Each structure stands twice: as structure tokens, then as C-alpha cells.
Amino acid sequence: MSAFSDPEIIRMAQKQYIAVVGDDWYQRRRDDEEGRFFRSVADQGPRKGLGGTTRQGIYCFTAAGKLLAYCNNIDPEKMRNAVKKGLTEWRLLPESERRPGEVAVDNSPGSDARYSRRPPTDGLILNVYARILDHDAKGEVCAGSCKIVGGDRASRDHMWLTRADWKSLVPDRPVSGATIPLPESIADRLVRYHLVDNTRGEPPLWQREDVRSRHLNLMIEHVSDSSVKMQLEGAVLLATDADVTRADRGFDVQLLGCLRFDRRRQAFDRVDIVAYGKHWGDGAFTKGARKGKSPLGIVFELARGDTPADQVPPQGAREIAEYLGRLNR
């Protein structure tokens, strides 16, 4: 992330490139035109994905598929040089290869459904941010610090709710003061896929047996002709060992949230949830966790859903059937 905060890189990316992101887990597997195109570009560089290994990196290439430059280094200077080299190589190409409209691109390339993901139709997309926290000299909660570059920043993910999911949040006849359990599929997804420390990389997700306790309820605060306001509250204990004191990874977390359903639009116009508690341990790709138990905070909020970034699937959506609770338990 830090290299793409470099002003010169940002300027080049904004003005002189078409900028795109890709999750290599999908891209190196998909068996469709897009996957084949990507791999044909990547194979011109040093990472040829032998044995199914990653092809991650920064690629500069033409719409016709000619690689111009490659870099797999987050150092801003190295990345800046690679992005500049891409432009230099681009300008050296014959004008016939650079002219707008010169390269024909198929409008309907087809898609390998196993490795392409779109948000559920009529579903909800929630932004999910996580940040390591700490306490200042006065004992007040503050942002934490991390020896891993970028580990102190807010991480990002999305949570998807299907139409059936969000409809299940609102009782047919809501009554002020009533309390209902958070529907099982949503509770399971929120806990196992999103109460995770992804601040330093791809996080390990929680297995069902890691959920030591889970109490998540919706309290209906107010009902009117126009809206239903609800409060989510609860607590979850996650640990990789039944004896929590021996667990090498865990999260002891409280949750509080505000949800509002617009009855006239038949849509949620507010979902704001905070999860806060003590987390410990790390995963294969999230090394460098602070020692012992330390505060971790997670926020869920309604995304607008109309930007390219909003379309990025949840990390957990790689196993989409399980993520959406469609596998038999």
C-alpha cells in the first residue's frame, strides 16, 4: 500500500494508465479468456506460476497483451522506476500499436463461474475495516503501532448479504422492545469470516470449532410507519483450542451496532457495527502480531455499492458456497 501512496506513482497511474487490481487467487486459476489473457502477460515476466504458484506483482502491459514492465517490490522507488519504465516502453512502440481503437477487444469474453465473483443480486455490501488498537498513557483507546509496514493502517474487506439474508433481519411484524437472535447464516458469516485480523495480510479464517461462544442479538428499538430501528449487541469468544489459555490464536470480542430499515423503500439505509476486543496470535500470512493479547477493532458499514472498489468480493468468498452458508453442515 505505501508505494501507491507515492505522489508520482499516483499521478502516472491517474493520467497515463488504466489502473486495475486483481486477486491472483482467482486470476491464476480461471479458465476463461480473461484468465488466459492475464497468464499470457504474466508469463512474459519472471513469475510464470509454475506448479500453480503466485503470479502477484505490478504489471505494465498493453491491451494487446505485451508486457512493458514488471515489479514485485513495495519499495516506492523501485515501483516508481517500474511504472516509469512501462511508460518508456509504451512510447517506444509503433504508433499503430498505441493508437486509440487500434486493438480489438472482445465484448463478451465469457467467464469461468468457478473463479469469478459478483455481489449477490439485490444483496447488501458492507465495508469491513479492521485496525490494531492500543491504549495511550491515560488509558484511552488509540491506534496501535506495528513493526510490519502497513500493519498499523485500516485493512479493508467486504461482507456480502444476500436478499434473503437482509430480509431475515426484519421480522414480519416488528415489535419495539423485542429481541431476536441474529439469524444463523449471518452470525456465522460475520464471526468466522470477518472477526479476523487482516491488518498484515491474508488472515486465517475461523473454523466452526473455533467458535467457543457466540451471543449475537438484535433488539428492536423503535418501530414506525417509515422505519424499524434495531440494535445489534453481543459477545463472541474465538480460540483455536478448547482450553482458551492454551490457544495460540483467539479473539475475545464485544459487538454493538445500529441498523435501520426503511419500510417505504424496503431497504436498509443504515448498518453500523463495531467489534472490539482482545486478539492474539497470527497466521501464515499475517506474521508479526504483537505479543500477548492486544486490542483489535473492526467496523462494518453499508457500502454505496456503485464504485469498482465496492465490487471486490470478500476474502472469504473464495469458497462462495460455504461463505453464503449454502453447504450442508
- Sign of the dihedral defined by the CA atoms of residues 183, 113, 49, 12, in that order: negative
Q: Does 21 bind another protein (CB under 8 A)?
A: yes
Q: Single out the segment in contact with another protein by CB under 8 A; choices: 102-110, 218-226, 242-250, 319-327.
A: 102-110
Shorter beta-carbon distance to another protein: residue 17 or 246: 17
Q: Name which of residues 224 to 253 contact another protein (CB under 8 A).
A: 233, 235
210 close to 240: Cβ distance less than 8 angstroms = yes
- What's the closest the beta carbon of residue 39 comes to another protein, in angstroms? 11
Q: Does 14 bind another protein (CB under 8 A)?
A: yes
155 close to 199: Cβ distance less than 8 angstroms = yes
- What's the closest the beta carbon of residue 100 comes to another protein, in angstroms? 4
* Length of the chain counted residue by residue: 329
Q: Does 125 bind another protein (CB under 8 A)?
A: no
* The three three-digit cell numbers of residue 132, written as one number: 490494531
Cα–Cα distance, 289 to 147 (Å, whole number): 9
Q: Does 107 bind another protein (CB under 8 A)?
A: yes
Shorter beta-carbon distance to another protein: residue 187 or 255: 255
Cα–Cα distance, 3 to 154 (Å, whole number): 16
Q: Single out the segment in contact with another protein by CB under 8 A; choices: 169-177, 204-212, 219-227, 313-321.
A: 313-321
Shorter beta-carbon distance to another protein: residue 55 or 186: 55
Grouping H, G, I as helix, E, B as strand and the rest as coil, residue 313 is coil
Pick from 50, 92, 105, 284: which binds another protein (CB under 8 A)?
A: 105
* The three three-digit cell numbers of residue 154, written as one number: 485500516
Determine which helix (DSSP H) or strand (DSSP E) holds 142, and give its type and residue range: strand 141-143
**Count of residues that bind another protein according to CB under 8 A:** 91
Q: Name which of residues 191 to 210 contact another protein (CB under 8 A).
A: 198-203
Q: Name which of residues 59 to 78 contact another protein (CB under 8 A).
A: 59-64, 68
Q: Does 27 bind another protein (CB under 8 A)?
A: yes
Determine which helix (DSSP H) or strand (DSSP E) holds 261, and give its type and residue range: strand 250-262
Q: Which one-letter amino acid corresponds to residue 98?
A: R
